C-alpha cells in the first residue's frame, strides 16, 4: 500500500467493502457504540479521565494506526512508520467501513484494537499485493484529535467547525444576551466586518443577513467556545457576495438575566455580567458585603448617588428591597446589572437615593457573605427562636410599607415549620403551630394589600382548618371572597364573625357591601332569565328529526336555559 493510498482511493477503502451499509445511517435508534457483527473492538489504553466526548460523522479525525493480517500477523501499513498521523472525515467513505464504524466509538487518547471481517474491510477482492482476498484485518488505532463539524441547517449552507471547545454546561437560548467577538471575511480572505467583545441579543436581528447563521451557531455553543462558520451566499450576503463568507465566532460570556423580584413581576431584573463562584448564595440572617458601583436611569448617572460598599444582614431590611432581592440570587464574586422599574424599591438613603423617582440600574458586585447554618441543622428550639425573631422583622417591614418583603419573610417562616407535626416536644410543637397561624394570618393581610384575593383566601383557609372560629381569619376571608365577587361566601363569613363578635364594625360594614353586591348579581340574573324566557317558543316547528336552522338564541346566551341558569357562579361552599 502506497503512502497516500488510504486518502486517494476511497472507492477501495469504502466502496469495495461490501456495498451500502445501513449502519452508517444516524437515523432513529442509531447507537454508535453498538458495533455490527464482523467488527470486534478491544481497548488497549483507556482515554484519559475527563475525555468523555466522541467524534461524530462529519468530523475530521486524526489517528495513528498499525494494520496487520489476522492470518499471520504481517504488518501491511502503519502511519507510525511513516512518521505522521492520518486524517479523514468520518462517514464520508474515505476509508473502509470498519474504520468509520470503529473510530466513532473512541474517545480522545484512547488506543483500541479492531478486528474487521472482510465485509468491513476489502471484501472478496482484497487489495493486492498486500491484502489478499477475503482477508480479516487487525488495526491498532489511536485517536489523537478531531475537528468537530456541524451542518447547522442540514442543507450545506452553514458548516460550523469547532476551533476551541467551550467550558461548562450552559448554552444560551433565544432572547438571551451574550458577549461575543466576530470577524467576517470573504472566501479569499478579504476582511468584511469585525466586532470585538460585543453585547448581542440572540434572535434580535441586529446582524442583518448574517443573523440566521450566527444565531443558530450561538445556540449550540458554550462559554469560551471558538468556532468558524463557512456560509453560502444564502446565509450571508446573497448575490452581493456569491461565494459566501467565513465567520470566526467567539462566545465570551452568556449573560444570565433573571427576575429576582419578590413577586416575580419583573420589577427587579438581574443580569449577571460576570459569573460568580460556586452555587451558594446569601441566605436570610447571613452577613453580606456588597459593592454598589454605580446607579443610572439606564442612560445617565443619577444625581446624588454615592458609590459605596454596604455591609448588612440579608433579609433584615437594612437595605432597600431591590438590593435585598438581588443579593439573594448572587454568587460569590458575581457582578450584575440590576434594573428596578419601581422607584420606591430602589430608594436607599445610604447611597444618596432616598428620594429617587425614576427607573434605576445598579451595577453590583458581591464581595463576600457568611451564611448561617442550614435550616435542617437547627434544633427544634433554635427553629422556634429563629421564627420568633423573623416574625418581628416581618412585622416591622409591614408597618413601614415594605409589604412584598414582609410577605416573603412570612412565607419563609411558614416553610421553617412545615414538618413541625413530627416534632417530639409538645411545647415546641405548640409554639411552632402558633407562629405558623400568625404568619398565615399576616400573609393574608399582605395579599389583601396587593388585591391578591385568591392568595388571601388560601392563607385564611389554612388557619380556619385548625381554628374554625378565628375571627381575623374569617373576616379576612370575607374580604377575599368579596374581592373575588363571591358575595354569598362573603356574607356567610361576615355572619360567622358577627355570631362570635356581634359588635365587630368592620364585619357589619363588609356585610352591607356584600349584600348590596349580591342584590346586583341577582338583579342581573333575573334580567337574563327573563330574556331567555322571551326567546322560548319562537319560530316555526321543525319537521321531526330536522333542526330548525332559523332558530337563534339571544346573543346573551350560548344555548337553551337550564334550571341552573341564573345562579351566581361559585355560590356553593367550597
Do 161 and 79 lie in one domain? The reply is: no
**Mean of all residue pLDDT scores within the chain:** 88
CB-based burial, 327-341: b 16+ in 10 Å, e otherwise: bbbbbeebbbbbbbb
Q: Kindly tell me if the per-residue pLDDT of 555 is higher than 60.
A: no
426-449 and 471-483 helices cross at what angle (nearest 10)?
30
Residue at which a domain ends, from 370, 391, 418: 370
Do 397 and 496 lie in one domain? The reply is: yes
Q: Once rounded to an integer, what is the mean pLDDT over residues 111-127?
A: 96
Answer yes or no: 76 catalytic: yes
Within a domain: 526: no
Within a domain: 210: yes
Q: Once rounded to an integer, what is the mean pLDDT over residues 107-135?
A: 96
Do 289 and 171 lie in one domain? The reply is: no
Containing structural domain, residue 440 = 380-515
Q: How far apart are CA 324 and CA 318, in angstroms?
A: 9
Contacts for 166-170: CB closer than 8 Å, 24+ residues apart:
166/221, 166/222, 166/223, 166/224, 166/225, 166/251, 167/222, 167/223, 167/224, 168/222, 168/223, 169/222, 170/222, 170/223, 170/254
Whole-model pTM above 0.85?
Answer: no
Answer yes or no: 200 catalytic: no
Q: Kindly tell me if the per-residue pLDDT of 310 is higher than 60.
A: yes
- Single out the residue of 216, 253, 213 nearest to residue 233, CA to CA: 213
Answer yes or no: 119 catalytic: no
Within a domain: 542: no
Within a domain: 266: yes
* Residue of 86, 88, 114, 139 marked active site: 139
Within a domain: 569: no
C-alpha pair distances (Å), 249 with each of 162, 179, 225, 393 = 10, 11, 8, 51
Q: How far apart are CA 443 and CA 472, in angstroms?
A: 12
Report the pLDDT value the prediction gives residue 531, as an integer from 0 to 100. Answer: 67
Report the pLDDT value the prediction gives residue 138, as an integer from 0 to 100. Answer: 98
Can you name the residues that pair with 182 across neighbouring β-strands? 195, 249
Answer yes or no: 378 catalytic: no
Answer yes or no: 529 catalytic: no
- pLDDT tens-digit series, residues 222-253: 999 999 999 999 999 999 999 999 999 999 99
Within a domain: 9: no
Phi, psi torsion values for 60, nearest 5 degrees = -95, 115
Contact by Cβ (8 Å): 568, 525: yes
Do 504 and 396 lie in one domain? The reply is: yes
Do 159 and 130 lie in one domain? The reply is: no
- What burial class does residue 509 get, using C-beta atoms within 10 Å of its C-beta: 0-12 exposed, 13-18 middle, 19+ buried? exposed
Do 165 and 86 lie in one domain? The reply is: no
Report the pLDDT value the prediction gives residue 148, as an integer from 0 to 100. Answer: 83
* Residue of 114, 122, 398, 447 marked active site: 122
Asked which of 135-149, 162-176, 305-319, 509-523 is least confident by mean pLDDT, the reply is 162-176
Residue at which a domain ends, from 352, 370, 388: 370
Do 53 and 107 lie in one domain? The reply is: yes
Answer yes or no: 77 catalytic: yes
- pLDDT tens-digit series, residues 487-529: 999 999 999 999 999 999 999 999 999 999 999 998 888 767 6
Report the pLDDT value the prediction gives residue 491, as an integer from 0 to 100. Answer: 98
- pLDDT tens-digit series, residues 40-81: 999 999 999 988 889 988 889 999 999 999 999 999 999 999
Within a domain: 529: no
- Total domains, the chain: 4
Residue at which a domain ends, from 351, 370, 389: 370
Report the pLDDT value the prediction gives residue 309, as an integer from 0 to 100. Answer: 98
Distance of CA 257 to the CA centre of its chain: 10
* Residue of 39, 59, 86, 96 marked active site: 96
- pLDDT tens-digit series, residues 263-286: 999 999 999 998 899 999 999 999
Report the pLDDT value the prediction gives residue 22, as an integer from 0 to 100. Answer: 40
* Residue of 21, 57, 76, 297 marked active site: 76
Report the pLDDT value the prediction gives residue 15, as an integer from 0 to 100. Answer: 35
Report the pLDDT value the prediction gives residue 195, as an integer from 0 to 100. Answer: 97
Q: How far apart are CA 115 and CA 41, in angstroms?
A: 7
DSSP letter, residue 108: T
DSSP letter, residue 301: B
Q: What is the CATH number of the domain that holds 491?
A: 1.25.40.10
* Residue of 65, 237, 255, 312 marked active site: 65
Amino acid at each position: 500500500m502506497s503512502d497516500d493510498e488510504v486518502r486517494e482511493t476511497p472507492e477501495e477503502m469504502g466502496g469495495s467493502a461490501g456495498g451500502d451499509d445501513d449502519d452508517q445511517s444516524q437515523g432513529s435508534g442509531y447507537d454508535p457504540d453498538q458495533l455490527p457483527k464482523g467488527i470486534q473492538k478491544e481497548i488497549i489504553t483507556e482515554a484519559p479521565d475527563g475525555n468523555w466526548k466522541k467524534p461524530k460523522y462529519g468530523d475530521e479525525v486524526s489517528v495513528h494506526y498499525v494494520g496487520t493480517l489476522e492470518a499471520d500477523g504481517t504488518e501491511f501499513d502503519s502511519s507510525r512508520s511513516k512518521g505522521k498521523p492520518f486524517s479523514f472525515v468520518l462517514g464520508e467513505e474515505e476509508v473502509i467501513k470498519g474504520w468509520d464504524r470503529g473510530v466513532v466509538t473512541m474517545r480522545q487518547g484512547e488506543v483500541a484494537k479492531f478486528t474487521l471481517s472482510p465485509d468491513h474491510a476489502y471484501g472478496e477482492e482484497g487489495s493486492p499485493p498486500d491484502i489478499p482476498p477475503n482477508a480479516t484485518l487487525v488495526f491498532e488505532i489511536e485517536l489523537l484529535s478531531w475537528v468537530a463539524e456541524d451542518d447547522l441547517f442540514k442543507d450545506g449552507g452553514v458548516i460550523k467547525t469547532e476551533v476551541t471547545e467551550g467550558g461548562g454546561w450552559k448554552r444560551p437560548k433565544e432572547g438571551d444576551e451574550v458577549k461575543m467577538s466576530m470577524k467576517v471575511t470573504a472566501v479569499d480572505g478579504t476582511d468584511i466586518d469585525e466586532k470585538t467583545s460585543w453585547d448581542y441579543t440572540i434572535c434580535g436581528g441586529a446582524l442583518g443577513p448574517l443573523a440566521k447563521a450566527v444565531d443558530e451557531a450561538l445556540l449550540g455553543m458554550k462559554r469560551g467556545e471558538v468556532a468558524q462558520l463557512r456560509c453560502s451566499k444564502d446565509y450571508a450576503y446573497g448575490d452581493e457576495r456569491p461565494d459566501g463568507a467565513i465567520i470566526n465566532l467567539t462566545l465570551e460570556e452568556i449573560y444570565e438575566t433573571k427576575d429576582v423580584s419578590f413577586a416575580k413581576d419583573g420589577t427587579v431584573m438581574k443580569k449577571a455580567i460576570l459569573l460568580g463562584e460556586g452555587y451558594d448564595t446569601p441566605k436570610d440572617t447571613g452577613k453580606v458585603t456588597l459593592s454598589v458601583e454605580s446607579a443610572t436611569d439606564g442612560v445617565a448617572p443619577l444625581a446624588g448617588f454615592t458609590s459605596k460598599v454596604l455591609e448588612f444582614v440579608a433579609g433584615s431590611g437594612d437595605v432597600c428591597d431591590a438590593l435585598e432581592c438581588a443579593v439573594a440570587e448572587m454568587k460569590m464574586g458575581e457582578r450584575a446589572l440590576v434594573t428596578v422599574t419601581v422607584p420606591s424599591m430602589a430608594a436607599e438613603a445610604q447611597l444618596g437615593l432616598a428620594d429617587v423617582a425614576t427607573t434605576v440600574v445598579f451595577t453590583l458586585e458581591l464581595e463576600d457573605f457568611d451564611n448561617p447554618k442550614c435550616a435542617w441543622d437547627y434544633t427544634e428550639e433554635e427553629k422556634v427562636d429563629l421564627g420568633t425573631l423573623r416574625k418581628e422583622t416581618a412585622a416591622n417591614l409591614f408597618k413601614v410599607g415594605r409589604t412584598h418583603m414582609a410577605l416573603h419573610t412570612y412565607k419563609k417562616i411558614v416553610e421553617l415549620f412545615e414538618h413541625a407535626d413530627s416534632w417530639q416536644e409538645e411545647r415546641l410543637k405548640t409554639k411552632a403551630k402558633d407562629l405558623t397561624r400568625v404568619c398565615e394570618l399576616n400573609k393574608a393581610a399582605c395579599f389583601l394589600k396587593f388585591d391578591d384575593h385568591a392568595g388571601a383566601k388560601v392563607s385564611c383557609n389554612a388557619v380556619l382548618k385548625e381554628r374554625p372560629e378565628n375571627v381575623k381569619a374569617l373576616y379576612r376571608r370575607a374580604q377575599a371572597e368579596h374581592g373575588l365577587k363571591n358575595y354569598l361566601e362573603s356574607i356567610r363569613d361576615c355572619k360567622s364573625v358577627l355570631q362570635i363578635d356581634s359588635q365587630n364594625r368592620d364585619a357589619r360594614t363588609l356585610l352591607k357591601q356584600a349584600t348590596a353586591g349580591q342584590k346586583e348579581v341577582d338583579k342581573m340574573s333575573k334580567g337574563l332569565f327573563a330574556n331567555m324566557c322571551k326567546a322560548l317558543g319562537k319560530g316555526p316547528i321543525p319537521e321531526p328529526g330536522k333542526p330548525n336552522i332559523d332558530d337563534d338564541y339571544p346573543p346573551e346566551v350560548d344555548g337553551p336555559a337550564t334550571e341552573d341558569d341564573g345562579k351566581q357562579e361559585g355560590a356553593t361552599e367550597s
